Chain A
């Protein structure tokens, strides 16, 4: 079963949340970030090239122009490969664990998996990030202390959706975690 809705992130950009219910114990949430806009790309390229042209008129060295072209190309490729995240996915499987995937604009995908034995809870936390934002995070258990938290893993770090989107994801995750606790408590 698939479901798609549109939300907005903390800066006002549009996000699309796709929810897939594979089974009562397995769900996937896919957040698509807004694509690289032509306007910002043109603006950055124009500023870099105008600055290079200004330097060229000062120094009369044509290497500056070719260096600017080179820098723009390399910078764009680096940005698409290392910085610009197109889609973030959160997959929860009841008995196995939680998997987070980030796919970059150049096609690269980076995946993190946390097994269910380590997961204590999935909560919505508030923190300061230039202003107060809500973000979803996974709390990991502390092996020493039964009620302690060893680590906080934030999810959807580059999409940064707002509270309404987070509440949807939070409720679904809590249903699965409650289901998992019920089945693990009864042997």
Chain B
């Protein structure tokens, strides 16, 4: 984003304080709701609040979601790894444009993708003295 910097600004102070207050308020409220018996809440007139069962169920749901999130992320990574016979292990859509630029003598060399054949020649032919003994 243009012009974005993480420095403290007056607006951010206010946002932060509002977030802090509201999160503390939500915490105190949920604790009160969980511990005060149903009859007292009803006598105060607060009848349409969630069942007390939710005080246990929602944290458990959240924890299980986090655990499944780990498994899901691992699975997504495995699925999006390209197979060994796919073109994407060698090149991709944006790389193809750079390969076709012509070589100019007087200009500094443009940034381009080196074709895999050249890379292989450099690694595995030139390094004969490293591997050539066996």
The chain A residues found within 8 Å of chain B, CB to CB, are: 120-121, 123-129, 135, 137, 139, 147-149, 151-154, 157, 164, 167, 170-171, 174
Contacts and interface: CB of A to CB of B under 8 A. Distances in A.
21 contacts: A120-B117, A121-B116, A124-B120, A124-B123, A126-B89, A127-B82, A127-B84, A127-B89, A137-B84, A137-B85, A139-B90, A139-B116, A152-B85, A152-B86, A152-B87, A152-B89, A153-B85, A164-B131, A167-B124, A167-B131, A171-B125
Interface of B: 81-82, 84-87, 89-91, 96, 99-100, 115-117, 120-121, 123-125, 131, 134
Contact of A151 (B87, B91, B99, B124): B87
Nearest to B119: A123
A126 B90 CA distance: 9
Contact of B124 (A121, A124, A128, A153): A124
Given A164-B134, A167-B124, A167-B131, A121 B84 contact: no
B125 A129 contact: no
Nearest to A129: B84
Contacts of B131: 164, 167
Contacts of A137: 84-85
A114 B42 CA distance: 81
Contacts of B124: 124, 167, 170-171
B53 to A, nearest CB: 36
Contacts of B117: 120-121, 123, 139
A147 B120 contact: no
A167 B121 CA distance: 11
A153 to B, nearest CB: 7
